[in-house]
Structure 1
């Protein structure tokens, strides 16, 4: 295990170095930057700022400076927010994490339960309704679902707030603070769960249909085991093996998949900050966030490979 981890760590470093170069070059080749697009500044001030932030240096020199600072824990300075990139991450990323981890938990819980039952009751009315719901959830755009729920739940019925994380001007602490956050995050969590549960349920259903037709399932039933034990202890464990691959994409998806949802519900997360940075071309913040997603992708792939071995000892690392 230790030899495998050391070898994978070397691969991860090489992959991240290549990703960092690609990320930097892509943003460096994009026309304009924060200073150039700020029409309120005179030409002399723009030239001064470009000199201060090193924007007039050659691309490779800027890349080397950026990587040298990154190795020392400095991913640059946000020109639009006037704060270090890591400080902004610390201010916003936990809000995104709260939203994403909650929706991911409910997505996987519902997908596993519904997928197993739909596969067990194939071609029943329940399976038919599940398939209709799956294709409907996969077809409707996220912004439409979000705006529709805001119209019904917030505007018409006034059961839930239309957006934000806290009531405007709120000074709540303790349990009152938690209640406000839960109240405000209900709608975005529902939308993110609806968007993710459809495709994941279809995935688990198809895996379960393949597994329950295999010989070892018939053998378990022939031994007189309860159907619940056969489904959830034997069939589901083997059906989970292909789904482990998705875990490698879930980790970066925790932060990259909620960009539109955070914008719709005005949730103060890293996704909304990322979208705002695009409009002003705040490249240090954009590069820092994209590099963060690359790091999560590599770590998620490593975790999924290790979980393969944990779930099935026959899989060699």
Structure 2
């Protein structure tokens, strides 16, 4: 297993280089001049003084060099965890990421945990009650939830649960109150949870509907297998048959989803963070794309690529843990 993990980590290097080349090329092909946008200049009509100021900014950020040279300089810098300066914020990109990444991870890891806590028992129950009222009711509810757009759901939640004319139970934006730095830890924790309720709800409802259907389908396949019938014929308790035999073998497709679900949620949190004004990586990426902040865009895309590759490696390790028949030796 150790040799396999080391080999996979080494194989990540050329994959990451390919990701950085693609991200760099796409960012440079996007229309718009980031320096002119930051200086508020009309790209079509510029005075000589403005042109000199623009050229000075291009030299400052290294954008006056040929694009292949820019790429190799940037690649050399990220090896040292130096993602350059943000054009918009005029701060090191690594500092912006250090501020925003914990917020996004808190939001998504909380939602990720809830998704699995809901989907695993719900999918198992649906499979055990196959073609009965419980199974059909769960399927109808999941189909309705799956068809709801996240943006619309978020707006409805804010409109009803953050509106003084209706319930006004939860805050509509941010992740903490203005005076959170003066709160005790328990009060701060309660305030943080209160702010995360609506955003987490927006992220989870789509995720657990998808995962529940996968768990149900996998459980149904395994419950029809010969080894399950043999276990029941031997007189094993039904709980033992379901949870020790059928459920354990049904985990493999769930692990496959695990490899892509968390990175996809982090990438998809752009909508949620924009909607609820949460200062996380998603909102940072959205602002960077609209202002052509190349260094921030490339840093966020690179981190997303690392998370995806790490998720795939974690899934392979979990395969071997869940199923002893799988070995990488």
Task: Name the TM-score class by shorter chain.
Answer: over 0.9
Residue 131 of structure 2 is aligned to residue 123 of structure 1: yes
1:302 counterpart = 2:313: yes
Question: Which digits, 9 at most, give the CA deviation of each residue in 1:166-193, with x for residues without a partner?
Answer: 1234432311111100011011111111
TM-score when normalising by structure 2: 0.93
CA distance in structure 1 between the partners assigned to 2:204 and 2:161 by the alignment: 17
Matched with 2:196 is: 185
Q: Which residue in the other structure is 2:275 paired with? A: 264
- After TM superposition, the structure 1 = structure 2 runs for residues 146-295 of structure 1, keeping only pairs within 5 Å, are 146-155=154-163, 156-170=166-180, 171-295=182-306
State which of 131, 139, 142 in structure 1 corresponds to 2:147: 139
Q: Distance in 1 between matches of 2:318 and 2:287?
A: 37
Aligned-pair CA distance for 1:243: 1.7
Name the structure 2 match of 1:30: 30
Q: Report how far residue 53 of structure 1 moved.
A: 0.8
Q: Describe the SS at the equivalent of 1:122.
A: coil
TM-score of the aligned structures, taking structure 1 as reference length: 0.96
Measure, in 1, the Cα distance between the counterparts of 2:129 and 2:191: 40
Within the candidate set 51, 67, 88, 1:80 is matched to 88
Whether contact under 8 Å (1:78, 1:282) holds in the other structure is yes
Q: Distance in 2 between matches of 1:101 and 1:292?
A: 16
Distance across 2 between alignment mates of 1:6 and 1:227: 41
Three-state SS of the structure 1 residue aligned to 2:38 is coil
Q: Distance in 1 between matches of 2:24 and 2:268?
A: 22
Task: Give the distance between the partners of 1:100 and 1:306, measured in 2 at CA.
Answer: 22
1:99 matched to 2:107? The reply is yes
Q: Is the partner of 1:96 in helix, strand or coil?
A: helix
CA distance in 2, matches of 1:256, 1:245: 18
Corresponding residue pairs, total: 317
- SS of 2:36's equivalent? coil
Query: Against the structure 1 CA distance between its residues 2 and 58, is the aligned structure 2 distance closer, same or farther, given a 3 Å change threshold?
Result: same
* CA deviation profile, 1:24-61 (whole Å, cap 9, x unmatched): 11112222232022353522211110011111211110
CA distance in 2, matches of 1:218, 1:177: 53
Query: Partner of 2:72 in structure 1?
Result: 64
Q: Distance in 1 between matches of 2:209 and 2:286?
A: 26
Task: Give ranges in structure 1 of 5+ residues lacking alignment.
Answer: none
Kindly indicate whether the alpha-carbon contact (under 8 Å) linking 1:54 and 1:62 is maintained by their aligned counterparts in 2: yes
User: Cα deviation per residue 1:203-259 (whole Å; 9 max; x = unaligned)?
Assistant: 111101100011111122223333222222211110001221112113423421211
Gaps of 5+ in 2: 42-49
Structure 1 pair 5/108, CA: closer, same or farther in 2 (3 Å)? same
Q: CA-atom RMSD, angstroms?
A: 1.4
Asked whether the equivalents of residues 93 and 269 of structure 1 are also in contact (C-alpha less than 8 Å), the reply is yes
Are the aligned partners of 1:33 and 1:282 in contact in 2 as well (CA < 8 Å)?
no
Contact map agreement 1:248 1:304 (CA 8 A) in 2: yes
- CA displacement at 1:99 relative to structure 2: 0.7
What's the secondary structure of 1:35's corresponding residue?
A: helix
Contact 1:76/1:284, CA 8 A, preserved across alignment: yes
Is the contact made by 2:38 and 2:88 (CA closer than 8 Å) also made in structure 1?
no
Partner of 1:48: 56
| Partners of 1:261 and 1:302 in 2: CA distance | 27
